[in-house]
Amino acid sequence: MSQLEATRSGLFSSLDIGADGVQVPQINEISDARKVVPAAKYAPLGERGVSVFTRAGNYYKDDAVDHPARQNDETMTVVHIEGQKGLTILTKS
């Protein structure tokens, strides 16, 4: 599990090196929370690009067809909604 800022490149890199999940702290806007899951998941759940030539893809020992679905099922994505501003967005959503 990696903890990092809510940037697409950070999420992609962390998951490609084999992290089982990502934690994104300091989410204070609903728009930021809605960006995290698509960045951490493969299509059809998200927008992460597929490459099995990574540690997460077992350096092409994984099946390129099954890899995205398995990773979507096994990867944990956590957002930390924190502070008063974060609590406010929970009541509005």
What pLDDT, on the 0 to 100 scale, is given for residue 93?
63
What global pTM score does this model have? 0.74
Q: Reduced to 3 states, what is the DSSP secondary structure of residue 25?
A: strand
Across the strands, what pairs with 9? none
**Is pLDDT above 90 for 6?**
no
pLDDT in tens, 16-71: 788 889 999 988 888 888 888 898 998 999 998 887 677 766 676 667 778 889 88
Domains of the chain: 2-92 (3.20.20.60)
CA 25 remoteness from chain centre: 13
Rounded to whole angstroms, the Cα distance separating 30 from 74 reads 24
Rounded to whole angstroms, the Cα distance separating 65 from 46 reads 16
**Is pLDDT above 90 for 76?**
yes
Could you tell me which residues come within 8 angstroms of residue 84 by beta carbon, excluding any fewer than 6 positions away?
none
What pLDDT, on the 0 to 100 scale, is given for residue 45?
93
On whether the CB atoms of residues 63 and 9 are closer than 8 A, the answer is no
